[in-house]
Amino acid sequence: MPELSLLTDRFSLTGRRALVTGASRGLGRAIAEALAQFGADVALVDREDSAEPAAAVRAAGHRAWQFTADLSVREELQRLIEQVDRDVGGIDILVNNAGIIRRAPAVDYPVADWDLVLRTNLDAVFLLCQHFGRRMVQRGRGKIINIASLLAFSGGINIPAYTASKSAVAGLTRAFANEWTGRGVQVNAIAPGYFDTENTRPLRENPGRQAEISARIPAGRWGDPRDLAGPVVFLASAASDYVSGHILVVDGGWMAR
Whether the predicted pLDDT of 2 surpasses 60: no
Task: Flag the least confident range among 138-147, 173-182, 218-227.
Answer: 218-227
Give domain limits for the chain: 2-248
Taking phi over 0 as left and psi of -120 to 50 as alpha, with beta for the rest, 135 belongs to alpha
Give me the pLDDT at residue 216, please.
Answer: 86
Higher pLDDT, 161 or 209: 161
Angle at 212 between CA 211 and CA 217, to 5 degrees: 90
Name the residues annotated as catalytic. 162
The pLDDT, as a whole number, for residue 215 is 87
- The mean pLDDT value for 211-220 works out to 88
pLDDT in tens, 33-49: 999 999 999 999 999 88
What distance in Å separates the CA atoms of residue 4 and residue 218, rounded to the nearest whole number? Answer: 32
What is residue 213's predicted lDDT score, i.e. its pLDDT? 85
Q: What are the distances in angstroms from CA 109 to CA 49, 119, 179, 184, 241?
A: 30, 16, 35, 41, 41
Asked whether residue 1 carries a pLDDT value surpassing 70, the answer given is no
Q: How much is the average pLDDT of 129-142?
A: 98
- Residue 4's pLDDT is 59
DSSP bridge partners of 66: 44
Of the two residues 9 and 82, the one the predictor is more confident about is: 82
The answer on pLDDT for 188 being more than 60 is yes
Mean pLDDT of all residues in the chain? 94
What pLDDT sits at residue 7? 76
User: Which superfamily is assigned to 2-248 in CATH?
Assistant: NAD(P)-binding Rossmann-like Domain (3.40.50.720)
pLDDT digits (tens, 9 = 90+) for 70-110: 999 999 999 999 999 999 999 999 999 999 999 999 999 99
Residue 196: pLDDT over 90? no
Share of the chain above pLDDT 70, in %: 98
Helix axes 74-87, 124-139, angle to 10 degrees: 30
Beta-bridge partner residues of 195: 223
Range in 13-27, 204-218, 223-237 with the lowest mean pLDDT? 204-218
